[in-house]
Structure 1
Amino acid sequence: MFKLLLIEDDRTLFHEMVDRLSQWSYEVHGIHDFSRVMDVFTNVDPHLVIIDIQLPKFDGFHWCRMIREHSNVPIIFLSSRDHPTDMVMSMNLGADDFVQKPFHFDVLIAKIQAILRRVYNYNNDQNELKTWLGATIDYERNRVSNDDGTVDLTKNEMLILKQLIEKKSKIVSREEIIHRLWEDERFVSDNTLTVNVNRLRKKLADLGLGESIETKVGQGYVARDES
């Protein structure tokens, strides 16, 4: 049974979400003291976290930063605010998806199922190490390392990198990447992919690989080959 941590202070919505998610056999945990979010996170050790942006004490962005200091667990943000900057901020902090309130529960459940299937099946299938441009790609731990150091990637960043490396020196279209990441591109902003790729490039730059992913305008992205 997958464990979900729901960080939501609207008690009516919280209980409705618990009821709906429990029908899908998810074990749902919540927060009662919003000053102890990380204590609950550590005790529950969830497979996925759903965070509202507007919370008492500290906002959802704060707790996302705290979680990312310790874990790459998938995170979905919820927001009732209609600001594009909220989505950009969420993706920059390493969130896996963003859901605008009010939302249809079928959409939320579809996103949860897609992320869990992608993340945990992916990790079970990828236990090998791979080398690329002198760097070691650790699929299991979502890490890239070389003589310049080590960087930790989010699940989405690693999936993007893996997809590009699989077809290195060949163009991978934006549509192909989006479909593999989120399975149904109707629920994804094109800007979300751009944010993820830019964040991936920034991390690779710390390893001297800042130019390793090229943009082909109007086509997609290419990972450089050894040559």
Structure 2
Amino acid sequence: MFKLLLIEDDATLFNEIRERLSQWSYEVYGVTEFNSVFEEFVQCKPDLVIIDIQLPKFDGFHWCRMIRNHSNVPIVFLSSRDHPTDMVMSMQLGADDFIQKPFHFDVLVAKVQAILRRVYNYNTERVELKAWRGATVDYEKNTVTFKGKTIDLTKNELFILKQLIEQKNKIVSREQLIRSLWDDKRFISDNTLTVNVNRLRKKLEELGLGNFIETKVGQGYIATDEVSL
């Protein structure tokens, strides 16, 4: 049974979401003090976090930063604000998905199920380490090591990188990545994938690997064994 932490100050919505998710045998916990969200997160140790952007004391972005500094737990944002920048900010902070209010509860359940399957299933594969152009990708620890330096990746970033290097020298379409990440591309925007890929590239640049993933305009992305001429 998965444990979910729902950080939502609207009591009516909180109870509705908890009731719906509980029907799928999820343990749903809430926050009692909105000025100590991170402390309650640490105490709860959830498998997934659902967090509203507009909260008392500090907004959801603040708490997402704090959580990401200590954990790669999947995070789903909820927002009633109609600002594209909110979604971009969420992805840049390492969120796994973004849901605009009002939403259909079936969509929320489907997204939660897809994320939990992805995060807690693919890490159980026997192969934990992958060598790629001199770098070592650790599927278990969510890290990439190159020339003695290591970077940490979020679950989404690692999954994207894994899909590309497992199909190295082949173009992986954006549609294929979206389907693999979220199971059903109707539930996610194309821009979200762009944000995740750009964030992955930026982290790889810290290791000097920024050009290891190439964009094929109108086709998708490719991880090659050799630098293209």
Place the TM-score, normalised by the shorter chain, in its bin: over 0.9
Point out where structure 2 has 5 or more consecutive residues left out of the alignment. Answer: none
* CA distance, structure 2, for counterparts of residue 3 and residue 78 of structure 1: 18
* CA distance, structure 1, for counterparts of residue 21 and residue 154 of structure 2: 25
Structure 1 residue identity aligned to 2:145: S
Shift of 1:73: 0.3
* CA distance, structure 2, for counterparts of residue 16 and residue 197 of structure 1: 34
After superposing the two structures, state which structure 1 stretch, 170-179 or 147-156, moved more: 147-156
Point out where structure 1 has 5 or more consecutive residues left out of the alignment. Answer: none
Aligned residues: 227
Partner of 1:219: 219
Shift of 1:187: 1.0
Identity across the alignment (%): 74
Q: Is the 8 A contact 1:132 1:226 kept in 2?
A: no
- Normalised TM-score (structure 2): 0.97
* CA distance, structure 2, for counterparts of residue 208 and residue 43 of structure 1: 38
- Give every structure 1 segment of 4 or more consecutive aligned residues whose post-TM-superposition deviation is greater than 3 Å: none
Partner of 2:62: 62
Q: Secondary structure at the match of 2:211?
A: coil
* CA distance, structure 2, for counterparts of residue 167 and residue 23 of structure 1: 38
Structure 2 residue identity aligned to 1:37: V
Cα deviation per residue 1:79-98 (whole Å; 9 max; x = unaligned)?
Answer: 00111100000000000000
Q: Secondary structure at the match of 2:39?
A: helix
* CA distance, structure 1, for counterparts of residue 159 and residue 34 of structure 2: 32
- Normalised TM-score (structure 1): 0.98
Partner of 1:145: 145
Q: Is the 8 A contact 1:174 1:220 kept in 2?
A: yes
Q: Is the 8 A contact 1:5 1:41 kept in 2?
A: yes
Partner of 2:134: 134
* CA distance, structure 2, for counterparts of residue 142 and residue 114 of structure 1: 19
- Superposed counterparts of 1:151-170, under 5 Å: 151-170=151-170
Q: Is the 8 A contact 1:7 1:52 kept in 2?
A: yes
Shift of 1:226: 4.3
Q: Secondary structure at the match of 1:28?
A: strand
Cα deviation per residue 1:167-214 (whole Å; 9 max; x = unaligned)?
Answer: 111111111111000110011111111000000000000000010100
2:185 maps to 1:189:
no
* CA distance, structure 2, for counterparts of residue 78 and residue 13 of structure 1: 11
Partner of 2:16: 16
Shift of 1:127: 4.6
Partner of 2:76: 76
After superposing the two structures, state which structure 1 stretch, 114-123 or 145-154, moved more: 145-154
Q: What is the root-mean-square deviation in Å for CA atoms of aligned residues?
A: 1.0
Structure 2 residue identity aligned to 1:173: S
